[in-house]
């Protein structure tokens, strides 16, 4: 009898937890719909260092949501939420045009030739109007197409390779650069990936993690890099958190690097200071 009550109590406890999680989800999803209009979304910028020139050559635009009650919500949480509905199109194009606009303004003000890298959701590949939307935002801002690089994860590219290929070719025709993000985390066929019209490859940070202490990890990154360079892709390392990791990447001939060691994502107001610090690493 006792065990049974305990069991029932536990079931009720999980039930409450589940209900709270569901409630939070539904509440956030509702709030996300008006987040853009209420000005709760903003873009953070993380410096990316060109390891040949030894200076910041670009920034990654990372979307942020400051919820009035719950504070910072992780993009991993709210972007997948937006992807479940059509909200991703609205939020995605807002993020893209905001990044283009803010960076164009920053470049003019500081006389810096920076590239902006922005993330695209797999769902945005479905939108045939995307290339034109991006082109319009570029024209309005005065930023050249080659100053924009769009990042797509391996899984986004492989979800529907035919549609992805058509979209990438179209974006390419406008002169926009394209990158594969989180490389190494998917199970895609390398041959298929290399058929896509890409300019660069970003090695996932899980591979960067061990390069300063493990020979195997370093050898793996080295071979990814050799393979990418063989087909003329520039290589970017993400998640660089220590001076030792940066040193290894430099020695291996990696082209670009980003990570907390070089600078954390920051609001546009702090970007100049963030770039100054990264330049000195």
In the complex with ligand C2E, the residue whose CB is nearer, 17 or 123, is 123
Number of Cα atoms under 13 Å in the Cβ half of residue 263: 28
In the complex with ligand C2E, the residue whose CB is nearer, 177 or 205, is 205
Shortest CB 238 distance to ligand C2E, Å: 6
Shortest CB 130 distance to Ca ion, Å: 17
H runs (alpha helix) in the chain = 2-35, 75-84, 87-110, 130-141, 154-159, 161-173, 190-194, 205-208, 215-230, 243-252, 271-279
In the complex with ligand C2E, the residue whose CB is nearer, 100 or 225, is 100
Shortest CB 236 distance to Ca ion, Å: 9
Does residue 117 contact residue 48 with C-beta atoms inside 8 Å? Answer: yes
Q: Could you say whether residue 119 binds Ca ion (CB under 5 A)?
A: yes
Question: What is the DSSP code (8-state) at residue 253?
Answer: T
Shortest CB 120 distance to ligand C2E, Å: 6
Identify what 127 binds: ligand C2E, Ca ion, none; CB under 5 to 8 Å per kind: none
H runs (alpha helix) in 111-195 = 130-141, 154-159, 161-173, 190-194
Q: Which residues bind ligand C2E (CB under 6 A)?
A: 46, 62-63, 74-76, 79, 92, 95, 119-121, 181-182, 205, 238-241, 259-260, 265
Position closest to ligand C2E via CB: 259
Spell out, one character per residue from 142 to 171, where the chain touches Ca ion: x when CB under 5 A holds, - when not.
---------x--------------------
- Label the pairing between strands 55-67 and 41-50: antiparallel
In the complex with ligand C2E, the residue whose CB is nearer, 14 or 260, is 260
d(CA 261, CA 273): 14
Does residue 239 contact residue 259 with C-beta atoms inside 8 Å? Answer: yes
Does residue 175 contact residue 198 with C-beta atoms inside 8 Å? Answer: no
Identify what 241 binds: Ca ion, ligand C2E, none; CB under 5 to 8 Å per kind: ligand C2E
Q: Which residues bind Ca ion (CB under 5 A)?
A: 119, 151, 181-182
């Amino acid at each position: 009898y006792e065990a049974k009550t305990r069991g029932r109590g536990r079931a009720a406890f999980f039930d409450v937890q589940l209900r709270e999680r569901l409630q939070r989800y539904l509440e956030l999803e509702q709030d996300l719909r008006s987040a853009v209009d209420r000005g709760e979304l903003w873009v953070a910028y993380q410096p990316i260092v060109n390891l040949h020139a030894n200076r910041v050559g670009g920034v990654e635009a990372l979307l942020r949501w400051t919820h009035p009650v719950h504070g910072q919500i992780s993009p991993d949480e709210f972007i997948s939420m937006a992807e479940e509905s059509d909200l991703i199109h609205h939020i995605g194009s807002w993020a893209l045009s905001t990044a283009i606009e803010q960076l164009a303004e920053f470049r003019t003000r500081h006389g810096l030739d920076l590239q902006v890298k922005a993330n695209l959701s797999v769902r945005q590949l479905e939108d045939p109007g995307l290339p034109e939307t991006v082109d319009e935002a570029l024209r309005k801002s005065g930023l050249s197409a080659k100053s924009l690089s769009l990042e797509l994860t391996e899984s986004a590219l492989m979800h529907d390779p035919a549609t992805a290929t058509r979209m990438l070719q179209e974006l390419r025709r406008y002169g926009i650069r394209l990158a594969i993000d989180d490389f190494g985390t998917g199970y895609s066929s390398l041959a298929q990936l290399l058929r896509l019209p890409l300019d660069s490859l970003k090695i996932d940070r899980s591979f960067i993690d061990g390069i300063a202490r493990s020979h195997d990890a370093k050898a793996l990154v080295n071979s990814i890099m050799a393979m990418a360079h063989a087909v003329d892709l520039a290589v970017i390392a993400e998640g660089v958190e220590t001076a030792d990791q940066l040193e290894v990447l430099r020695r291996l001939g990696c082209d670009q690097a980003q990570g907390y060691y070089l600078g954390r994502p920051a609001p546009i107001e702090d970007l100049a200071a963030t770039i100054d610090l990264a330049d000195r690493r």
